[in-house]
Structure 1
Amino acid sequence: MSDLSVLGWTPDRVGQLPPDSAPARVFRVDRGRLSVLTAGGEARVHPASALYDEAGSGAPAVGDWVALRGEQAVAVLPRRSAFVRTVAGRTSAAQVVAANLDVVLVVDALAGEARLRRVERYLAVAWSSGATPVVVLTKADLCDDVPAAVALVAEDALGVDVLAVSSVTGEGLDAVRALLGPGRTGAMVGPSGVGKTSLASALAGRVLGATQEIRDDGRGRHTTTARELHLLPGGGLLIDTPGMRELALYDDEGGVDAAYADVAQLAAECRFRDCGHRGEPGCAVAAAIDDGRLDPSRFTAWRKLQAEAHRQLLRVDARARRPRPGHRRELARGGEDGVLFRLR
Structure 2
Amino acid sequence: MIEWNAATIKDFQNTLLTWFDQEGRDLPWRRDHEPYHVWVSEIMLQQTQVQTVIPYYERFMGLFPTVTDLAEAPESQLLKAWEGLGYYSRVRNMQRCARQLLTDYDGQWPQTAAELTELIGIGPYTAGAVASIGVNEPVPAVDGNAYRVFSRLLKIDADIAKPQTRLIFEQAIARIVPEDRPGDFNQAIMDLGSSYMTARQPDTENSPVKRFNQAYLDGEELVYPVKTKKPRPKLVAYVAVLAQMDQKWLMVQRPSTGMLANLWTVPLIPVEERDLEEDYQPADLLAAIQAYFQREYQLKLTAKLVAGRPVSHTFTHQKWSIQLFDGQVETSDLSYFAGRAVTLAERQQLPMPKVQEKLFTRYAAR
- TM-score, normalising length from structure 2? 0.21
- Bigger relative contact order, structure 1 or 2 (CA pairs below 8 A, ≥6 apart): 2
The structure whose residues are more often helix, as a share, is: 2
Pair member with larger Rg: 2
- TM-score, normalising length from structure 1? 0.21
